[in-house]
Amino acid sequence: MSAITNPNGYIGRFAPSPTGPLHFGSLVSALASYLDAHHNNGKWLVRMEDLDPPREQPGAADAILRCLEDYGLEWNDSVAYQSRRWDLYEDYLGKLRQQDLLYPCDCTRQDLQAMGGIYNGRCRNRFIDINLAHAQRLKLYDLPTGFPQGEQLVFTDLIQGKQIQNLRIQAGDQILKRKDGLYAYQLAVVVDDIEQGITHIIRGSDLLDVTARQILLFQLLGKPIPAFGHVTLASQPNGQKLSKQNLAPALELKDASTNLWQALAFLGQNPPQALKGATPTELLAWGRVNWQRSAVKGLSATYICS
């Protein structure tokens, strides 16, 4: 499945969650999306995915933006905040509801565990009292218009190549609005990409598994599908991916030059040794000119950060 070309040109984005400071793994994703956008004469946007207040860390959003600025990763246009776009998400839910693509669900986490972790559509044909707490689920699979080859959705990742995902087996019907009234990531990210005219999404390979379900949601909404590319994750010495949850060390301004050079190397760009110690401005200028998407390592490669 190929992406639909946007007549307005290349628009990429970096969309961190304010659950903690940026770390080296975040830098790899941000740098890849930044360089891919600039090398293709495009725009690079920053979106703050502050959709889940219970998980957010006070001050993290501002700290993330300061860190990007400190590292020279300047964005176009104003920062979009998901917490300010709830009316928009509700409007898109209404569009899906008009197509009879939503249904209420009152299943618990224990119910989902009993299903093996993939939702089996249990509430599609059950009576649900909508006066009680319930989620809104999307009828994700068995839709003829979404699956010209059956239930398998096929797409080509810009970095990882051909991908085949079966959404009944690998995803199940997705929650788009939670029981607590918060909008789910799978809805918000697609709506934001539509509204911001995003044409290319370069991000970490930990999100590769959710790409097919997002592609189908673009289809169901009748909107252009961005091109997706997933870069390798950096890992810790114990093999865990670098993440806020795993307490990855935060990026510091004093290490900006070293971290940027290492991130370029991790992404397979082979920065010259002469650039070690160069300023972030110099490193990014070199990266914008010399960026090669084809050089980005595949899923099997890891970078061990000590």
- The CATH number assigned to the domain holding 252 equals 3.40.50.620
Amino acid at 288: R
Residue 145 is assigned to a structural domain of this protein? yes
Residue 1 is assigned to a structural domain of this protein? no
CB 86 within 8 A of CB 138: no
Give the domain range for residue 232.
Answer: 11-295
- The tens digit of pLDDT for each residue in 21-62 reads 998 989 999 999 999 999 999 999 999 999 999 999 999 999
Tokens of 119: 């939702």
229: CB partners within 8 A, 6+ apart: 32, 36, 157, 158, 159, 160, 200, 201, 202, 203, 293, 296
The residue ranking higher by pLDDT, 305 or 1, is: 305
In the predicted model, what is the mean pLDDT of the chain? Answer: 89
Region of poorest pLDDT, from 139-143, 162-166, 192-196, 231-235: 139-143
pLDDT recorded at residue 167: 86
Place of tokens 């307005």: 8
pLDDT band (50, 70, 90) for residue 168? confident
- Give Rg (Cα) of the chain: 20
The residues that bridge with 81 in the sheet, in sequence order, are 48
The residue ranking higher by pLDDT, 251 or 207, is: 207
CB 283 within 8 A of CB 256: no
Entry field: residues in the chain: 306
The residues that bridge with 241 in the sheet, in sequence order, are 235
Count of domains forming the chain: 1
pLDDT recorded at residue 142: 66
**Residue 75 reports pLDDT greater than 50:** yes
Residue 116 is assigned to a structural domain of this protein? yes
- The tens digit of pLDDT for each residue in 97-134 reads 999 999 999 999 999 999 999 999 999 999 999 999 99
Residue 300 is assigned to a structural domain of this protein? no
Residue 35 is assigned to a structural domain of this protein? yes
CA 157 to CA 225: how far, in whole Å?
12
Residue 304 is assigned to a structural domain of this protein? no
- The tens digit of pLDDT for each residue in 221-264 reads 999 999 999 998 887 665 556 555 555 677 888 899 999 999 99
- The tens digit of pLDDT for each residue in 8-32 reads 599 999 999 999 999 898 999 999 9
pLDDT recorded at residue 46: 98
pLDDT recorded at residue 148: 54
CB 35 within 8 A of CB 74: no
Residue 4 is assigned to a structural domain of this protein? no
Residue 305 is assigned to a structural domain of this protein? no
